Protein backbone atom coordinates (compact mmCIF):
# COMPACT_ATOMS: atom_id res chain seq x y z
CA UNK A 1 0.00 0.00 0.00
CA UNK A 2 1.42 3.33 -1.02
CA UNK A 3 1.55 5.96 1.70
CA UNK A 4 0.96 9.57 0.79
CA UNK A 5 3.29 12.02 2.44
CA UNK A 6 1.60 14.56 4.65
CA UNK A 7 1.33 17.99 3.11
CA UNK A 8 3.77 20.58 4.37
CA UNK A 9 2.03 23.13 6.60
CA UNK A 10 1.40 26.38 4.81
CA UNK A 11 3.73 29.19 5.76
CA UNK A 12 2.15 31.89 7.89
CA UNK A 13 1.15 34.90 5.82
CA UNK A 14 3.48 37.86 6.10
CA UNK A 15 2.09 40.75 8.15
CA UNK A 16 4.00 44.01 8.47
CA UNK A 17 3.02 47.29 10.04
CA UNK A 18 3.88 50.96 10.06
CA UNK A 19 3.41 52.58 13.45
CA UNK A 20 4.01 56.36 13.41
CA UNK A 21 3.43 58.74 16.31
CA UNK A 22 1.03 61.56 15.33
CA UNK A 23 3.09 64.36 16.84
CA UNK A 24 4.12 66.15 13.64
CA UNK A 25 4.58 65.74 9.91
CA UNK A 26 5.51 62.44 8.25
CA UNK A 27 9.31 62.47 8.05
CA UNK A 28 10.98 61.19 4.88
CA UNK A 29 12.60 58.47 7.01
CA UNK A 30 9.20 57.35 8.24
CA UNK A 31 7.89 57.31 4.68
CA UNK A 32 10.77 55.03 3.66
CA UNK A 33 10.07 52.72 6.60
CA UNK A 34 6.43 52.52 5.53
CA UNK A 35 7.50 51.80 1.95
CA UNK A 36 9.82 48.97 3.00
CA UNK A 37 7.03 47.38 5.05
CA UNK A 38 4.58 47.82 2.18
CA UNK A 39 6.94 46.34 -0.40
CA UNK A 40 7.81 43.36 1.79
CA UNK A 41 4.17 42.53 2.50
CA UNK A 42 2.79 43.21 -0.97
CA UNK A 43 5.59 41.27 -2.64
CA UNK A 44 4.61 38.18 -0.63
CA UNK A 45 0.86 38.42 -0.80
CA UNK A 46 0.74 39.53 2.84
CA UNK A 47 -0.88 42.32 4.81
CA UNK A 48 0.38 45.82 5.50
CA UNK A 49 -1.22 47.32 8.61
CA UNK A 50 -1.25 50.85 9.97
CA UNK A 51 -1.15 51.65 13.68
CA UNK A 52 -1.21 55.20 15.04
CA UNK A 53 0.83 55.26 18.25
CA UNK A 54 -1.11 58.04 19.93
CA UNK A 55 -0.48 57.22 23.59
CA UNK A 56 1.32 60.54 24.12
CA UNK A 57 -1.93 62.48 24.56
CA UNK A 58 -0.18 65.78 25.18
CA UNK A 59 1.58 65.76 21.80
CA UNK A 60 -0.68 63.65 19.58
CA UNK A 61 -3.02 65.68 17.38
CA UNK A 62 -5.79 64.82 14.91
CA UNK A 63 -4.09 67.11 12.40
CA UNK A 64 -0.87 65.10 12.57
CA UNK A 65 -2.81 61.85 12.16
CA UNK A 66 -4.54 63.28 9.10
CA UNK A 67 -1.18 64.41 7.69
CA UNK A 68 0.19 60.86 8.08
CA UNK A 69 -2.80 59.30 6.32
CA UNK A 70 -2.66 61.92 3.57
CA UNK A 71 1.09 61.43 3.10
CA UNK A 72 0.82 57.65 2.82
CA UNK A 73 -2.08 57.98 0.37
CA UNK A 74 -0.12 60.46 -1.75
CA UNK A 75 2.84 58.09 -1.80
CA UNK A 76 0.51 55.35 -3.02
CA UNK A 77 0.84 53.03 -0.02
CA UNK A 78 -2.47 51.35 0.69
CA UNK A 79 -2.99 49.59 4.01
CA UNK A 80 -5.26 46.72 5.00
CA UNK A 81 -8.21 47.39 7.27
CA UNK A 82 -8.75 50.52 9.35
CA UNK A 83 -5.87 52.32 11.07
CA UNK A 84 -5.56 51.14 14.67
CA UNK A 85 -5.31 53.60 17.55
CA UNK A 86 -2.86 52.44 20.19
CA UNK A 87 -4.49 54.61 22.85
CA UNK A 88 -7.85 52.95 22.22
CA UNK A 89 -6.27 49.62 23.23
CA UNK A 90 -4.98 50.77 26.64
CA UNK A 91 -7.31 48.41 28.52
CA UNK A 92 -5.93 45.43 26.60
CA UNK A 93 -2.37 46.53 27.42
CA UNK A 94 -3.22 46.75 31.12
CA UNK A 95 -4.86 43.33 30.95
CA UNK A 96 -1.62 41.76 29.69
CA UNK A 97 0.39 43.44 32.45
CA UNK A 98 -1.95 41.91 35.02
CA UNK A 99 -1.68 38.52 33.33
CA UNK A 100 2.08 38.73 33.71
CA UNK A 101 1.66 39.72 37.35
CA UNK A 102 -0.56 36.72 37.96
CA UNK A 103 1.85 34.43 36.10
CA UNK A 104 4.88 35.51 38.11
CA UNK A 105 6.75 37.19 35.25
CA UNK A 106 6.00 40.64 36.68
CA UNK A 107 5.72 42.11 40.15
CA UNK A 108 4.30 45.04 42.08
CA UNK A 109 6.77 47.83 42.72
CA UNK A 110 6.02 50.46 45.39
CA UNK A 111 9.20 52.48 44.90
CA UNK A 112 8.56 56.21 44.75
CA UNK A 113 10.03 58.50 42.06
CA UNK A 114 12.26 60.02 44.76
CA UNK A 115 13.60 56.61 45.78
CA UNK A 116 14.30 55.67 42.17
CA UNK A 117 16.09 58.99 41.55
CA UNK A 118 18.19 58.52 44.69
CA UNK A 119 19.23 55.01 43.60
CA UNK A 120 20.28 56.24 40.16
CA UNK A 121 22.25 59.14 41.63
CA UNK A 122 24.11 56.74 43.90
CA UNK A 123 24.55 54.08 41.19
CA UNK A 124 24.87 56.00 37.90
CA UNK A 125 26.17 53.01 35.95
CA UNK A 126 23.69 50.44 37.18
CA UNK A 127 20.11 49.78 36.07
CA UNK A 128 17.55 50.38 38.78
CA UNK A 129 17.06 47.36 41.03
CA UNK A 130 13.71 47.43 42.76
CA UNK A 131 13.68 46.20 46.38
CA UNK A 132 10.17 44.85 45.75
CA UNK A 133 11.18 42.28 43.12
CA UNK A 134 10.95 39.30 45.48
CA UNK A 135 9.10 40.92 48.39
CA UNK A 136 6.17 39.06 49.94
CA UNK A 137 5.00 41.55 52.56
CA UNK A 138 3.32 44.15 50.36
CA UNK A 139 1.72 47.39 51.55
CA UNK A 140 -1.76 48.56 50.61
CA UNK A 141 -0.63 51.42 48.38
CA UNK A 142 -0.34 52.49 44.79
CA UNK A 143 2.10 50.42 42.76
CA UNK A 144 3.58 50.04 39.32
CA UNK A 145 3.87 46.68 37.61
CA UNK A 146 7.42 45.85 36.55
CA UNK A 147 8.72 43.05 34.36
CA UNK A 148 10.68 40.43 36.28
CA UNK A 149 13.48 40.35 33.72
CA UNK A 150 16.26 37.75 33.76
CA UNK A 151 19.28 38.95 35.73
CA UNK A 152 21.89 36.69 34.11
CA UNK A 153 22.75 35.59 30.60
CA UNK A 154 22.03 37.51 27.41
CA UNK A 155 19.10 38.54 25.30
CA UNK A 156 19.95 37.81 21.67
CA UNK A 157 18.37 39.72 18.81
CA UNK A 158 18.52 37.89 15.49
CA UNK A 159 18.22 40.91 13.24
CA UNK A 160 17.84 40.56 9.47
CA UNK A 161 19.84 43.72 8.83
CA UNK A 162 22.11 44.24 11.83
CA UNK A 163 22.97 40.57 12.31
CA UNK A 164 23.11 38.96 15.74
CA UNK A 165 22.98 41.54 18.51
CA UNK A 166 23.66 40.44 22.10
CA UNK A 167 22.67 42.41 25.18
CA UNK A 168 23.77 41.39 28.68
CA UNK A 169 20.70 41.01 30.87
CA UNK A 170 22.41 42.57 33.88
CA UNK A 171 22.51 45.81 31.88
CA UNK A 172 18.71 45.96 31.65
CA UNK A 173 16.42 46.98 34.47
CA UNK A 174 13.01 45.58 35.34
CA UNK A 175 11.11 47.99 33.14
CA UNK A 176 7.73 49.37 34.12
CA UNK A 177 4.83 47.77 32.26
CA UNK A 178 1.93 49.51 33.96
CA UNK A 179 2.34 52.83 35.78
CA UNK A 180 0.88 53.44 39.20
CA UNK A 181 -1.94 55.46 37.61
CA UNK A 182 -2.94 52.39 35.59
CA UNK A 183 -1.61 53.59 32.22
CA UNK A 184 0.51 51.18 30.16
CA UNK A 185 3.98 52.09 28.97
CA UNK A 186 4.93 52.38 25.32
CA UNK A 187 7.21 49.34 25.51
CA UNK A 188 4.37 47.08 26.64
CA UNK A 189 1.83 48.57 24.23
CA UNK A 190 4.03 47.97 21.18
CA UNK A 191 4.54 44.29 21.98
CA UNK A 192 0.88 43.63 22.79
CA UNK A 193 -0.29 45.42 19.66
CA UNK A 194 2.19 43.64 17.38
CA UNK A 195 1.21 40.27 18.85
CA UNK A 196 -2.54 40.89 18.67
CA UNK A 197 -2.27 42.24 15.11
CA UNK A 198 -0.40 39.10 14.04
CA UNK A 199 2.67 41.05 12.92
CA UNK A 200 5.28 38.61 11.61
CA UNK A 201 7.98 41.10 10.60
CA UNK A 202 8.91 44.26 12.49
CA UNK A 203 10.76 46.49 10.02
CA UNK A 204 11.71 49.82 11.58
CA UNK A 205 14.53 52.32 12.06
CA UNK A 206 17.63 51.23 13.91
CA UNK A 207 16.98 53.91 16.52
CA UNK A 208 14.56 51.33 17.95
CA UNK A 209 17.22 48.63 18.25
CA UNK A 210 17.94 49.45 21.90
CA UNK A 211 14.26 48.86 22.70
CA UNK A 212 14.15 45.47 21.04
CA UNK A 213 15.99 43.53 23.74
CA UNK A 214 13.46 44.77 26.31
CA UNK A 215 10.53 43.99 24.04
CA UNK A 216 11.85 40.48 23.39
CA UNK A 217 11.77 39.88 27.13
CA UNK A 218 8.04 40.67 27.13
CA UNK A 219 7.43 38.25 24.24
CA UNK A 220 9.31 35.54 26.11
CA UNK A 221 7.56 36.25 29.41
CA UNK A 222 4.17 35.86 27.71
CA UNK A 223 5.25 32.78 25.78
CA UNK A 224 4.50 34.56 22.51
CA UNK A 225 6.50 33.86 19.32
CA UNK A 226 8.96 36.59 18.44
CA UNK A 227 8.47 38.36 15.12
CA UNK A 228 11.33 38.71 12.65
CA UNK A 229 13.19 41.95 13.35
CA UNK A 230 14.86 44.14 10.74
CA UNK A 231 16.29 47.47 11.90
CA UNK A 232 17.12 49.75 9.00
CA UNK A 233 19.74 52.55 9.21
CA UNK A 234 18.57 56.13 9.37
CA UNK A 235 18.76 58.63 6.52
CA UNK A 236 21.52 61.25 6.62
CA UNK A 237 22.00 64.42 4.63
CA UNK A 238 24.43 64.75 1.76
CA UNK A 239 27.10 65.81 4.29
CA UNK A 240 26.76 62.50 6.14
CA UNK A 241 25.15 64.08 9.20
CA UNK A 242 21.76 63.24 10.67
CA UNK A 243 19.03 64.59 8.43
CA UNK A 244 17.56 67.86 9.66
CA UNK A 245 15.94 71.04 8.37
CA UNK A 246 19.34 72.47 7.46
CA UNK A 247 19.51 69.93 4.63
CA UNK A 248 16.30 71.26 3.05
CA UNK A 249 13.15 69.18 2.68
CA UNK A 250 12.75 66.49 5.34
CA UNK A 251 8.96 66.03 5.49
CA UNK A 252 7.17 63.97 2.86
CA UNK A 253 4.76 66.85 2.27
CA UNK A 254 7.72 69.05 1.30
CA UNK A 255 8.81 66.60 -1.39
CA UNK A 256 5.24 66.46 -2.67
CA UNK A 257 5.16 70.27 -2.79
CA UNK A 258 8.41 70.30 -4.79
CA UNK A 259 6.60 68.36 -7.49
CA UNK A 260 8.19 64.92 -7.48
CA UNK A 261 5.65 62.37 -8.74
CA UNK A 262 4.70 59.64 -6.22
CA UNK A 263 6.06 56.90 -8.50
CA UNK A 264 9.45 58.63 -8.56
CA UNK A 265 9.46 58.99 -4.77
CA UNK A 266 8.67 55.28 -4.36
CA UNK A 267 11.53 54.37 -6.70
CA UNK A 268 13.99 56.74 -5.03
CA UNK A 269 13.06 55.82 -1.46
CA UNK A 270 13.28 52.10 -2.26
CA UNK A 271 16.90 52.60 -3.36
CA UNK A 272 17.71 54.72 -0.32
CA UNK A 273 19.48 52.08 1.74
CA UNK A 274 18.38 49.03 -0.26
CA UNK A 275 19.75 47.71 -3.51
CA UNK A 276 19.06 45.08 -6.14
CA UNK A 277 22.33 44.74 -8.00
CA UNK A 278 22.98 47.87 -10.00
CA UNK A 279 19.31 48.56 -10.77
CA UNK A 280 18.51 52.22 -10.16
CA UNK A 281 15.31 52.85 -12.11
CA UNK A 282 12.30 50.57 -11.76
CA UNK A 283 8.55 50.50 -11.25
CA UNK A 284 6.33 49.15 -8.51
CA UNK A 285 5.97 45.65 -9.94
CA UNK A 286 9.73 45.16 -10.06
CA UNK A 287 10.19 46.66 -6.59
CA UNK A 288 7.61 44.32 -5.08
CA UNK A 289 9.23 41.34 -6.78
CA UNK A 290 12.81 42.25 -5.88
CA UNK A 291 12.55 43.74 -2.40
CA UNK A 292 13.98 41.64 0.40
CA UNK A 293 15.55 42.32 3.77
CA UNK A 294 18.93 40.97 2.70
CA UNK A 295 19.37 43.87 0.28
CA UNK A 296 19.25 46.48 3.05
CA UNK A 297 22.67 47.86 3.97
CA UNK A 298 23.90 48.59 7.48
CA UNK A 299 25.35 52.03 6.74
CA UNK A 300 23.14 55.13 6.90
CA UNK A 301 21.70 56.15 3.54
CA UNK A 302 22.40 59.64 2.19
CA UNK A 303 19.73 61.84 0.70
CA UNK A 304 20.86 62.99 -2.75
CA UNK A 305 18.65 65.58 -4.44
CA UNK A 306 20.46 65.32 -7.78
CA UNK A 307 19.80 61.60 -7.90
CA UNK A 308 16.19 62.21 -6.89
CA UNK A 309 15.80 64.65 -9.79
CA UNK A 310 17.29 62.09 -12.15
CA UNK A 311 14.85 59.43 -10.96
CA UNK A 312 11.98 61.91 -11.13
CA UNK A 313 12.84 62.91 -14.69
CA UNK A 314 12.95 59.26 -15.72
CA UNK A 315 9.50 58.57 -14.31
CA UNK A 316 7.96 61.69 -15.81
CA UNK A 317 9.47 60.73 -19.17
CA UNK A 318 8.12 57.18 -19.08
CA UNK A 319 4.67 57.85 -17.63
CA UNK A 320 1.64 57.85 -19.90
CA UNK A 321 0.82 61.37 -21.07
CA UNK A 322 -2.60 61.31 -19.40
CA UNK A 323 -1.02 60.15 -16.12
CA UNK A 324 1.46 63.04 -16.18
CA UNK A 325 -1.38 65.49 -16.79
CA UNK A 326 -3.32 63.98 -13.88
CA UNK A 327 -0.29 64.27 -11.59
CA UNK A 328 0.29 67.84 -12.74
CA UNK A 329 -3.30 68.85 -12.04
CA UNK A 330 -3.15 67.24 -8.58
CA UNK A 331 0.06 69.11 -7.78
CA UNK A 332 -1.41 72.41 -9.05
CA UNK A 333 -4.47 71.96 -6.83
CA UNK A 334 -2.28 71.41 -3.75
CA UNK A 335 -0.07 74.36 -4.67
CA UNK A 336 -3.07 76.69 -5.00
CA UNK A 337 -2.97 77.16 -8.78
CA UNK A 338 -6.18 77.79 -10.68
CA UNK A 339 -7.48 74.60 -12.30
CA UNK A 340 -6.72 74.09 -15.98
CA UNK A 341 -9.45 74.78 -18.47
CA UNK A 342 -10.37 72.06 -20.92
CA UNK A 343 -8.56 73.99 -23.68
CA UNK A 344 -5.40 74.33 -21.58
CA UNK A 345 -5.45 70.64 -20.67
CA UNK A 346 -5.74 69.65 -24.30
CA UNK A 347 -2.92 71.96 -25.32
CA UNK A 348 -0.62 70.55 -22.63
CA UNK A 349 -1.58 67.02 -23.57
CA UNK A 350 -0.84 67.79 -27.21
CA UNK A 351 2.69 68.92 -26.33
CA UNK A 352 3.28 66.37 -23.57
CA UNK A 353 5.81 64.37 -25.57
CA UNK A 354 8.08 67.41 -25.76
CA UNK A 355 7.31 68.64 -22.25
CA UNK A 356 8.29 65.32 -20.68
CA UNK A 357 11.70 65.22 -22.33
CA UNK A 358 13.36 67.86 -20.14
CA UNK A 359 11.15 68.14 -17.05
CA UNK A 360 12.60 66.77 -13.81
CA UNK A 361 9.66 67.89 -11.68
CA UNK A 362 6.03 68.81 -12.22
CA UNK A 363 6.63 72.56 -11.59
CA UNK A 364 9.39 72.47 -14.22
CA UNK A 365 6.97 70.86 -16.65
CA UNK A 366 4.35 73.50 -15.87
CA UNK A 367 6.92 76.23 -16.52
CA UNK A 368 7.62 74.72 -19.93
CA UNK A 369 3.88 74.59 -20.56
CA UNK A 370 3.38 78.33 -20.04
CA UNK A 371 2.53 78.74 -23.74
CA UNK A 372 -0.57 76.58 -23.19
CA UNK A 373 -1.84 78.69 -20.29
CA UNK A 374 -1.47 82.26 -21.55
CA UNK A 375 -4.28 83.99 -23.40
CA UNK A 376 -4.10 86.57 -26.15
CA UNK A 377 -2.86 89.20 -26.29
CA UNK A 378 0.29 87.64 -24.89
CA UNK A 379 2.54 89.76 -22.70
CA UNK A 380 6.09 89.20 -23.94
CA UNK A 381 8.85 89.03 -21.35
CA UNK A 382 11.69 91.56 -21.70
CA UNK A 383 14.31 88.97 -22.67
CA UNK A 384 12.09 87.42 -25.33
CA UNK A 385 10.99 90.81 -26.64
CA UNK A 386 14.56 91.54 -27.77
CA UNK A 387 14.14 89.00 -30.55
CA UNK A 388 11.06 90.80 -31.93
CA UNK A 389 12.74 93.56 -33.89
CA UNK A 390 11.18 94.87 -37.16
CA UNK A 391 13.20 92.44 -39.30
CA UNK A 392 12.10 89.45 -37.19
CA UNK A 393 8.48 90.54 -37.31
CA UNK A 394 8.78 90.75 -41.07
CA UNK A 395 9.99 87.14 -41.20
CA UNK A 396 7.10 86.11 -38.95
CA UNK A 397 4.68 87.77 -41.39
CA UNK A 398 6.21 85.78 -44.26
CA UNK A 399 6.01 82.58 -42.19
CA UNK A 400 2.37 83.29 -41.27
CA UNK A 401 1.48 83.49 -44.95
CA UNK A 402 3.56 80.38 -45.74
CA UNK A 403 1.83 78.13 -43.23
CA UNK A 404 -1.73 79.27 -43.90
CA UNK A 405 -2.56 76.23 -45.94
CA UNK A 406 0.14 73.64 -45.14
CA UNK A 407 -0.66 70.37 -43.44
CA UNK A 408 -0.59 71.21 -39.72
CA UNK A 409 2.06 68.67 -38.76
CA UNK A 410 5.38 69.16 -37.06
CA UNK A 411 7.39 68.21 -40.15
CA UNK A 412 5.39 70.44 -42.50
CA UNK A 413 5.68 73.42 -40.16
CA UNK A 414 9.42 72.91 -39.73
CA UNK A 415 9.96 72.72 -43.50
CA UNK A 416 8.01 75.93 -44.01
CA UNK A 417 10.09 77.72 -41.38
CA UNK A 418 13.34 76.47 -42.93
CA UNK A 419 12.23 77.78 -46.31
CA UNK A 420 11.51 81.24 -44.90
CA UNK A 421 14.86 81.26 -43.09
CA UNK A 422 16.72 80.34 -46.28
CA UNK A 423 14.79 82.98 -48.21
CA UNK A 424 16.06 85.56 -45.73
CA UNK A 425 19.60 84.17 -45.70
CA UNK A 426 19.56 83.22 -42.01
CA UNK A 427 19.64 80.02 -40.01
CA UNK A 428 16.55 78.43 -38.51
CA UNK A 429 17.51 79.73 -35.06
CA UNK A 430 17.02 83.32 -36.23
CA UNK A 431 13.37 82.64 -36.89
CA UNK A 432 12.83 80.26 -33.96
CA UNK A 433 13.59 83.01 -31.41
CA UNK A 434 10.92 85.47 -32.52
CA UNK A 435 8.53 82.60 -33.20
CA UNK A 436 9.00 81.41 -29.60
CA UNK A 437 8.35 84.93 -28.26
CA UNK A 438 5.22 85.32 -30.35
CA UNK A 439 3.75 81.96 -29.38
CA UNK A 440 4.65 81.88 -25.67
CA UNK A 441 5.89 85.32 -24.63
CA UNK A 442 9.05 83.80 -23.17
CA UNK A 443 12.42 82.58 -24.38
CA UNK A 444 12.23 79.24 -22.52
CA UNK A 445 9.78 76.87 -24.18
CA UNK A 446 9.50 73.48 -25.84
CA UNK A 447 10.19 73.28 -29.58
CA UNK A 448 8.30 75.97 -31.46
CA UNK A 449 6.87 73.33 -33.79
CA UNK A 450 5.62 71.24 -30.87
CA UNK A 451 3.91 74.36 -29.54
CA UNK A 452 2.29 75.09 -32.88
CA UNK A 453 0.92 71.58 -33.24
CA UNK A 454 -0.41 71.66 -29.66
CA UNK A 455 -1.99 75.10 -30.07
CA UNK A 456 -3.55 74.25 -33.42
CA UNK A 457 -3.73 76.23 -36.63
CA UNK A 458 -6.22 78.90 -35.59
CA UNK A 459 -4.61 79.84 -32.26
CA UNK A 460 -1.05 79.72 -33.63
CA UNK A 461 -1.85 82.00 -36.58
CA UNK A 462 -3.73 84.41 -34.30
CA UNK A 463 -0.72 84.70 -31.99
CA UNK A 464 1.60 85.26 -34.94
CA UNK A 465 -0.68 87.97 -36.38
CA UNK A 466 -0.72 89.75 -33.01
CA UNK A 467 3.01 90.30 -33.44
CA UNK A 468 3.20 90.80 -37.20
CA UNK A 469 0.54 93.51 -37.02
CA UNK A 470 3.02 95.45 -34.89
CA UNK A 471 5.49 95.45 -37.78
CA UNK A 472 3.52 98.28 -39.42
Per the annotation, binding residues for ATP are 245
Note the helical H segments in 24-159.
28-42, 62-75, 90-103, 113-122
Q: How far apart are CA 310 and CA 307, in angstroms?
A: 5
Interhelix angle 262-270/62-75, nearest 10 degrees: 90
Q: How far apart are CA 261 and CA 256, in angstroms?
A: 7
Interhelix angle 390-402/410-423, nearest 10 degrees: 130
Q: What are phi and psi of 25, to 5 degrees?
A: -70, 165
Q: How far apart are CA 231 and CA 157, in angstroms?
A: 11
Would the CA dihedral through 381, 383, 389, 395 be positive or negative? Answer: negative
SS3 of 386, please? Answer: coil
Q: Which residues pair with 50 in a beta bridge?
A: 18
* Reduced DSSP (H G I as helix, E B as strand, rest coil) percent helix, strand, coil of the chain, to 5: 50, 10, 40
Three-class HEC string of 264-307: HHHHHHHCCCECCCCCCCCCHHHHHHHCCHHHECCCCEECCHHH
64 touches 339 (CB < 8 A): no
CA angle 332, 335, 339 (to 5 degrees): 35
Terminal CA-CA length for the chain: 106
**What positions carry a catalytic annotation?**
245
Nearest Cα residue to 419 out of 398, 389, 394: 398
Q: How far apart are CA 84 and CA 107, in angstroms?
A: 29
Q: How far is CA 17 from CA 39, 220, 232, 382, in A?
A: 11, 21, 14, 55
437 touches 362 (CB < 8 A): no
Amino acid sequence: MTQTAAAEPAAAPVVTRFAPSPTGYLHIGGARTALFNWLYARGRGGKFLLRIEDTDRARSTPEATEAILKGLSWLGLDWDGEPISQFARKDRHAEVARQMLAGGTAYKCFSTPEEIAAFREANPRQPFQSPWRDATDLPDALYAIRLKAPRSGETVIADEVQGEVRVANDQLDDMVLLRSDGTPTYMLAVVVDDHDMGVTHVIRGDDHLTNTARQIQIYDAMGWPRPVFAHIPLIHGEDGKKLSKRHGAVGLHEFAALGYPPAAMRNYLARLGWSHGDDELFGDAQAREWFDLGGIGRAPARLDFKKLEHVSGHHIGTMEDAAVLEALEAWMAEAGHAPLTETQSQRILGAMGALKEKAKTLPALLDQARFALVERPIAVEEKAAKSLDPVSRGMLRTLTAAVQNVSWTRDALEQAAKAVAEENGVGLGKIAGPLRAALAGTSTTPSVFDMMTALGREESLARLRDQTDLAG
